[in-house]
């Protein structure tokens, strides 16, 4: 399916929603609260555990955003390969088309390929149609590279709007955020601060957000993330937790 035909579906879907608007007012009011709840980690983890990526006890879902990046991603792939660990990569469509060989390499190595949108812009500032087009373009372009349309989506900055929820439903994308992050995008982050920040919030069955590219972060921040990764894998192993992609993370 192309973005164009999807766009037509989206338009008719939207007009159906508008016709049903009066009846749906309470629902829409509740939906407006969703970006707030989904953006604030403690609220999200408590009230939206599925969206936050709370999964199987004893399993940690390892996820990376903002790649692929020829400069940094190959280092992560080598480290993960050496450790026998598979992860989920939420790719930016705009980056994926720049490094198509890298996307195929990631998929070929057994990593789970998901999408982070086409452009890294806050969806709160975009209309429903623009949001839909952004997601559809990312899903189409990444799917063409791997041969399978991605089914998982993580919004830039973790902000889920009503339009994003609707776009995900139309595209067969499941949104997944995270239960713990390393604040690895910050210029002042160190491998130790990344490890400590993740471990502070992480519980058994959690989903961890890191970045394998600095395209939206402080320059060279990926080097700290890369150095933190063995520290994290060792900490999880010491707790008896296994690490893998989100596809292995669902509750039985
Ligand atoms: Zn991002």
- Quick one: pLDDT at residue 40? 65
Catalytic residue among 59, 111, 165, 211: 211
Q: Which residues of 126-165 are buried (b: 16+ CB within 10 A; e: fewer)?
A: bebeebbbbbbbbbbbbbebbeebbbbbbbbebbbbbbbb
Is 65 catalytic? The answer is yes
3-state class of 209 per DSSP?
strand
- Quick one: pLDDT at residue 9? 37
The answer regarding whether domain 37-248 maps to CATH 3.20.20.370 reads yes
Gap from CA of 201 to ligand 1 centroid (Å): 19
Gap from CA of 27 to ligand 1 centroid (Å): 29
Q: How many angstroms separate the CA atoms of 66 and 200, rounded?
A: 23
Gap from CA of 252 to ligand 1 centroid (Å): 29
CA distances in angstroms from 210 to 67, 182, 191, 195, listed in the order given: 11, 6, 12, 11
The per-residue pLDDT for range 39-68, each reduced to its tens digit, is 666 677 766 778 889 999 999 999 999 999
- Quick one: pLDDT at residue 58? 96
- Show the low-confidence residues of the chain (pLDDT under 70): 1-42, 46-47, 252
**Predicted TM-score of the model (pTM):** 0.84
- Quick one: pLDDT at residue 170? 97
Gap from CA of 144 to ligand 1 centroid (Å): 22
Q: How many angstroms separate the CA atoms of 45 and 29, rounded?
A: 21
Gap from CA of 246 to ligand 1 centroid (Å): 17
Q: For the chain, count helices (H), then strands (E).
A: 11, 8
Gap from CA of 209 to ligand 1 centroid (Å): 10
- Report residue 24: phi and psi, to 5°: -95, 5
Closest CA to 57 of 237, 204, 233, 221: 204
């Amino acid at each position: 399916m192309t973005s164009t035909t999807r766009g037509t579906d989206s338009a008719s879907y939207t007009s159906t929603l508008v016709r049903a608007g009066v009846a749906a007012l309470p629902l829409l009011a509740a939906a407006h609260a969703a970006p707030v709840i989904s953006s604030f980690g403690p609220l999200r983890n408590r009230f939206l555990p599925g969206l936050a990526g709370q999964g199987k006890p004893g399993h940690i879902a390892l996820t990376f955003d903002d790649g692929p990046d020829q400069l940094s991603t190959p280092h992560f792939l080598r480290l993960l390969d050496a450790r026998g660990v598979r992860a989920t990569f939420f790719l930016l469509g705009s980056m994926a088309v720049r490094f198509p060989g890298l996307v195929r390499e990631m998929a070929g190595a057994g990593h789970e390929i998901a999408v982070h949108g086409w452009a890294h812009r806050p969806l709160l500032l975009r209309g429903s149609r623009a949001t839909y087009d952004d997601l559809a373009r990312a899903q189409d372009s990444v799917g063409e590279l791997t041969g399978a349309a991605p089914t998982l989506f993580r919004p830039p900055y973790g902000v889920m709007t009503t339009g994003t929820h609707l776009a995900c439903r139309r595209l067969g994308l499941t949104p997944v955020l995270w239960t713990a992050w390393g604040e690895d995008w910050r210029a002042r982050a160190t491998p130790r601060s990344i490890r400590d920040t993740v471990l502070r919030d992480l519980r058994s069955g959690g989903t961890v957000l890191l970045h394998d590219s600095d395209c939206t972060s402080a320059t060279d921040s990926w080097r700290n993330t890369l150095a933190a990764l063995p520290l994290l894998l060792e900490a999880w192993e010491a707790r008896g937790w296994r690490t893998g992609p989100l596809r292995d993370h669902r509750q039985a």
